Every structure is written in structure tokens, then in C-alpha cells.
Amino acid sequence: MNKKHGITFETFLKNFKLHVSKLGFKNSIQKDYILKILFYCDEHLTAEQIAHKVKVEYNIDVGIATVYRTVKFFEDLNLIDSLDVGDSVKRYELKIAEHHDHLVCTSCHKIIEFTDEVIEEKQEDIAKENNFILKDHAMIIYGLCEDCQ
């Protein structure tokens, strides 16, 4: 079985279906395939790219409105993150990887993921200094990638 982030897709999907059912929502085959695309993809995908991949990889037609509704649903469940790289187009990724931040090229819109323990610790220090409980954060650094410089 193919694992990602220490878990198989089958286990991930089973847990997702249980969670959705407990919340009183219905699951659909479209949601399953959208989750599968996001689970196995290492890129940040737009809704259009998700719909295209579902069609090409699984021969399932998913309308773009369904993809938008589904990613909104996943965002509401805190299952995925969305990222706007400055071109007004949201890109999505599943939230099962360890926390990371992003460098975004303002020219070609390339996204580079990074982790930095010093930055993570500094954010916690700043929150503590301000008597603030840090729940989550997103850091996006905009600039020019090596290819666009």
C-alpha cells in the first residue's frame, strides 16, 4: 500500500468518512476522488487543476462548481489549506504534512515550501509576550525565485 505522511489513503479516507458522518454530512464519490488527488499530489492545485486531474487520472467527470463546493467544505473542516500567490487564484493542499511556510515568486507564481524552527519559536515567543494563545499561522514570503531574478 502506498503511504504518505505515515498513513495510507485508505485509512485516511475511512477516518474522513467517519468524521463527516458524525458531523451529519453526506459523503460523495466526488469528494473521495478530490481527496485522493490532494492526498497524492505534492503541488498546490487550483480547483481547475483538481477537476482536470480527477478526469484524467480516474476518468470521473467532476464539475468545477462541485470542486469549489468541495474544497470550501474541506476548508471549513480544516482539512485543507488554501494559498493565494497574488494572482487571485486559490491553490489547495491537504493539511496532513508537518507545518510549513511558503515562498512565492511574484513573477512566475512558483511556490517553495520551507520550515524553519527559529521562525516557529519566534512566533510562539511573540504570542507569549503579548499574552496571546497561538492556534495557527500562515507565513507567505513574496519575492522573485532564482529563475526570475
The Cα 41–Cα 141 span in angstroms is 22
User: Exposed e or buried b for every residue in 88-108, given b needs 16+ CB within 10 A?
Assistant: eebbbbbeeeeeebbbbbeee
Residue 147 annotated as part of some ligand binding site: no
Question: Which of 13-18's residues contact partners 24+ apart within 8 Å by CB, and which partners?
Answer: 16/79
The Cα 6–Cα 37 span in angstroms is 17
Residue 10 annotated as part of some ligand binding site: no
Residue 148 annotated as part of some ligand binding site: yes
Residues written for the chain = 149
Residue 41 annotated as part of some ligand binding site: no
Inter-residue contact 102 to 112 (CB < 8 Å): yes
Instruction: List the binding residues.
Output: 99, 101, 105, 108, 120, 137, 145, 148
Binding positions for Fe cation are 99, 101, 120, 137
Annotated binding site for Zn(2+): 105, 108, 145, 148
